Amino acid sequence: METRFQEMKRYARFGQDDAKLVARTKAYCAPHFTRIAQEFYDRIREHEDAHAVFTGEEQILRLQRSLVRWLDRLLAGTYDESYFGETIQIGRVHVKVGLPQHYMFTAMTLIRSELDRIIVANGGDAATRDALSRLIDLELGVMIEGYREHLSARIHAKSEHANQELTRTLARTEHRYISAVELAGVLIIGLDTTGAIRLFNREAERVTGYERDEMTGQPFIATLMAEDVVPTDGTRVARALAGESLDTPVFESVLRTRAGNLRDVRWQLAYAPADEEDEVVLFVMGQDVTDARAVEELARQHEKLAAVGTLAAGLAHEIRNPLNGAQLHVSFLERALKKAGAATPEMNEAIVVVGEEIKRLALLVSEFLDFARPKPLKVDPVVVQALCHRAVVLLAEQAAAARVQITEDLPAQELVIHGDSSKLEQVLLNLLQNGVEALAGGGGGHVVLRARRQPRVAVIEVEDDGPGLPRADAPIFDAFFSTKANGTGLGLAIVHRIVTDHNGTITVESRPGRTRFRVTVPLGNQ
Amino acid sequence: MDQGPAPGLPRPRILLVDDDTRTSRLLAHMLREDGFDVEFASNGAAAISRLTRTPMPDILVTDLHMPDVDGIAVTQFARSKEPLLPVVIVTGHPNMAIGLGATLIPLPVVLTKPIEYAKLAEELRRVSVGIVL
Ligand code: HEM
């Protein structure tokens, strides 16, 4: 019997000759694969729904490699059962990550026109172009199969569900309860005695990104709770399921969404004993507090800063005046000793030390003022590539002295944000300098300055391969926290302030061998 | 002295205004050694009364924050007599000095405390070169 793939090939009239024609293009197409993969994913970055399926920059890099392998395979010339078996697997991967189907078409069009252009440029004839085009149609058709499977599975599940509904005549009061559950602005999830999901309201769908019919029957703890909290909070849920009464029925925990993002949720558990096995026995109700947390944190920071700000100006004046006196007296002393011919090396050394200490105090005062009383932003369009490059140039000398190599990893397409270029430069200089200083002690190393476009933000990362932060949870963005012997403890607090003043975010990830600061700033057209 | 104005030229006359007399006296001493003539006023009022007499100073060096009459007022008075008089404002509040001084034309030079002596002397020498004594 003819298989489904054979049938599709026959319909597309794709035969041995076509396969040979396609395979012949590989020699001149292959050098372009990496570039095509790059452009392919650059395009994805511009679309929020498509980009949302990604969990991080590493995944994107992995996918670029997958795409290069896929191109290699596409032009290999053998299109048998196992070839299409693989294609359908690739299709399923996309269904699983929740990529809307129409992106497959547009993405494939990009690949088609890139390859076509290369074939034309290399003198390929009409038959070759046509063969490739049909092969790509086949590939797309097979990948789309995954979506059809998914849809029929859902329709099946739905109709089963509808049947059950019919057999139970719901009283009107029950309808009201259902609306209440559906319209509630809290996640309401009902679990049966085995911990499987039986009820999943609209808010739960919204926050998790999963649909009700795919969640029905799934284990709540393993599917929705973030791995790290399963041992603690998962146990709590399991105990509640067993009917144990909890001393703290309200708790905060971390939920993992379909796209792999983490959300802070405040949960409340309510146990309702039932007779039947598949009845809901535990209601898990939750509120997404992720954004509220961020706002609270910001308010706390601003409050602290306002109080500090009123003190700052007066204090600066009180400190700078005596420093001025001290500085001039030291200059006088230096001159007097020289004139009298009485200066010994120790004396000169002492004078240098005092002078340096005065400068350090003066710097502290200046940084403190910058931090507590920042000047308003001067916002203009800023080209990220130019910004990054300037920062690297400014730091080149210091980096070379510390035997640190700074590498720029910037996108080819111009990336524009709205911001205060001198303040953003200060951010980059500060972060790069931190990286260089972190490496200087160990006799050198590498710092990478990376920029990427995402749908709504530019991401700038500064990464070093130094020893890492002493503690993962060190409050490094707080004022007066410093890990450096000579630091004022204000550098990163200022950086944090500048970034948040730009409506951006800054985070850090650190382990021995890699410390990465990640700054996001909204794109210029937002 | 190598930091002073060109030898052979008349010594530029500086009026130094600061309420920190101990430090200013020292500063005056060093500037004199470096070839400047320095007069000293320990508050704004004293500076203004000095400015009503001739000869006018060639350069005014003043603190910003002083009780009653501040550095901006002294500058305004001096400029009413000598519209192009070079002025150096020394302050612990550089932003405030730049803000307040923005209406003064020509703009005063603003130095942040703690000042480095060498930098101040350099600035004064630079300014005095442009003056026809
Ligand atoms: C039509 C053109 C496309 C082709 C040929 C293609 C090819 C591939 C291949 C070969 C893989 C690896 C599958 C595996 O690991 O078994 C993959 C995975 C993936 N693709 Fe695509 N892809 C296409 C479109 C897209 C689009 C438009 C997106 C949009 C975001 C996307 C997102 C992903 C994701 C998120 C995964 C992977 C899962 C992971 O490894 O973490 N793909 N793709």
Q: Which amino acid is at A397?
A: E
**Shared domain check, A196 and A252:** yes
A472 or B29, greater pLDDT: B29
Dist CA A61 CA A72 (whole Å): 17
Dist CA A266 CA A80 (whole Å): 52
- Mean pLDDT computed over every residue of chain B: 86
Q: What is the pLDDT of residue B1?
A: 44
Q: What does the block give as tokens for A14? A: 């794709």
Closest approach of A360 to chain B, Cα-based (Å): 11
**Shared domain check, A281 and A211:** yes
Nearest atom in ligand 1 to A40's CA: 27
Quick check: is A174 in a domain? Answer: no
> Where a domain ends, among A288, A319, A351?
A288
Q: What is the CATH number of the domain that holds A266?
A: 3.30.450.20
User: What pLDDT, in 10s, does the model give residues A118-151?
Assistant: 999 999 899 999 999 999 999 998 888 878 877 7
Quick check: is A171 in a domain? Answer: no
Quick check: is A177 in a domain? Answer: no
Q: What is the pLDDT of residue A204?
A: 93
Q: What is the pLDDT of residue B4?
A: 54
Tell me the percentage of chain A whose pLDDT exceeds 70.
93
pLDDT band, residue A491 (cuts 50/70/90): confident
Helix (H), strand (E), coil (C) string for A454-489: CCCEEEEEEEECCCCCCCCCCCCCCCCCCCCCCCCC
Q: What is the pLDDT of residue A486?
A: 61
Question: Measuring CA to CA, how many Å separate A163 from each of A152, A158, A167, A177, A496?
Answer: 17, 9, 7, 20, 56
Q: What does the block give as tokens for A302? A: 């601003």
Q: How many domains does chain A have?
A: 4
Quick check: is A405 in a domain? Answer: yes
Q: What is the CATH number of the domain that holds A342?
A: 1.10.287
Quick check: is A173 in a domain? Answer: no
Name the residue among B69, B118, B61, B102 with its Cα closest to residue B85: B61
Quick check: is A27 in a domain? Answer: yes
Interior CA angle at A398 toward A392 and A402, to 5°? 115
Tokens 């009413």, residue located: B80
**Shared domain check, A498 and A386:** yes
pLDDT band, residue B133 (cuts 50/70/90): very low
E strand intervals along chain B: 13-17, 37-41, 59-63, 87-91, 109-112
Q: What is the pLDDT of residue A190?
A: 92
CB atoms within 10 A of CB A524: 16
**Shared domain check, A203 and A139:** no
Dist CA B84 CA B106 (whole Å): 7
Dist CA A244 CA A318 (whole Å): 63
**Shared domain check, A336 and A418:** no
Query: By residue range, what is the domain housing residue A397?
Result: 380-522
For each of the domains in chain B, give its residue range(s) and CATH number, in order of start.
13-125 (3.40.50.2300)
Cα A514 to its chain centre, rounded Å, is 17
Q: What share of chain A is helix, strand, coil (3-state, %, to 5)?
A: 60, 15, 25
B87 or B69, greater pLDDT: B87
**Shared domain check, A277 and A212:** yes
User: CB contact, 8 Å: B3 with chain A?
Assistant: no
Of B20, B112, B117, the CB nearest to A331: B117
**Shared domain check, A436 and A318:** no
A328 and B115 within 8 Å at the Cβ level: the answer is yes
pLDDT band, residue B6 (cuts 50/70/90): low
**Shared domain check, A449 and A327:** no
Quick check: is A395 in a domain? Answer: yes
E strand intervals along A107-244: 187-191, 197-200
Quick check: is A263 in a domain? Answer: yes
Name the residue among A481, A517, A522 with its Cα closest to residue A501: A522
Q: Which of A144-158, A336-350, A498-512, B25-39 has the lowest mean pLDDT?
A: A144-158
Is A287 a pocket residue for ligand 1 (Cβ < 6 Å)? no
Q: Is the pLDDT of residue B131 over 70?
A: no
Chain A interface, Cβ < 8 Å to B: 313, 316-321, 323-329, 331-332, 335, 358-359, 362, 366, 375
Interface mutation target, options A315, A318, A329, A331, chain B, most CBs of B under 10 Å? A331
Q: What is the CATH number of the domain that holds A98?
A: 1.10.490.10
> Where a domain ends, among A272, A288, A304?
A288
Name the residue among B60, B68, B57 with its Cα closest to residue B17: B60
* Mean pLDDT of all residues in A76-84: 89
How deeply is B62 buried, as exposed, middle or buried, from its count of CB atoms within 10 A (0-12, 13-18, 19+)?
A: buried
Question: Which distant-in-sequence residues (6+ apart) come within 8 Å of A193 by Cβ?
Answer: A241, A277, A279, A281
A327 and B118 within 8 Å at the Cβ level: the answer is no
Contact between A266 and A250 under an 8 Å Cβ cutoff? The reply is yes
Is A93 a pocket residue for ligand 1 (Cβ < 6 Å)? yes
User: What pLDDT, in 10s, does the model give residues A286-324?
Assistant: 988 888 877 787 777 777 766 677 677 777 878 888 899
**Shared domain check, A139 and A198:** no
Any idea what DSSP says for residue A193?
A: T
A327 and B117 within 8 Å at the Cβ level: the answer is yes
Instruction: Ligand 1 pocket test: pick from A40, A48, A93, A137 the residue with the most ligand atoms within 8 Å of its Cβ.
Output: A93
**Shared domain check, A224 and A198:** yes
Q: Is the pLDDT of residue A171 over 60?
A: no
> Where a domain ends, among A372, A390, A416?
A372
A320 and B92 within 8 Å at the Cβ level: the answer is yes
* Mean pLDDT of all residues in A5-11: 83
**Shared domain check, A484 and A430:** yes
The arrangement of strands across the sheet holding B87-91 comes to B37-41, B13-17, B59-63, B87-91, B109-112
Tell me the percentage of chain A whose pLDDT exceeds 90.
34
Residues of A in contact with B65 (CB under 8 A): 317
Dist CA B91 CA B93 (whole Å): 5
- Mean pLDDT computed over every residue of chain A: 85
Q: Which amino acid is at A386?
A: A
**Shared domain check, A485 and A517:** yes
| pTM of this structure | 0.46
Dist CA A428 CA A387 (whole Å): 8
